[in-house]
Amino acid sequence: MKIVVTEAAASWFKNDFSIDENEKVKFYARIYGSSPVQENFALGFDKESDPNNEAVRTEVNGVTFYIEDEDVWFFDGHDLHVDYDKDEDELTFDYKK
């Protein structure tokens, strides 16, 4: 599995989520909500300082994005693609096999 974050999405994290270079964003499974890959679970993200057990990571524009071992099950073998929709002014998440 891999994480793909576009430069537009990385810019959103820097500008709207106040992430600085050399900081990290953790993607994780949240109870409640919905997603195309898991019923009753949604994707969450948060600013984190250090991963506990990093399973997957990517870096875009100096920001590290990662998923820990304990949350890999959520993606059910899919890659996570994160982009920014300028018209809607929001992030988009796509799950691709």
Domains of the chain as residue ranges with CATH: 3-96 (2.60.300.12)
Task: Quote the CA–CA distance of 39 and 73 in Å, as a whole number.
Answer: 13
Q: Is the pLDDT of residue 93 over 90?
A: yes
Give the list of residues 6+ apart from residue 87 with CB closer than 8 angstroms, or none.
none
User: Average pLDDT in the 48-72 region?
Assistant: 92
CA nearest to 10, candidates 83, 96, 87: 83
Indicate the pTM of the whole model.
0.90
Reported confidence tier of residue 83, pLDDT bands at 50, 70, 90: very high
Mean pLDDT of 71-95: 95
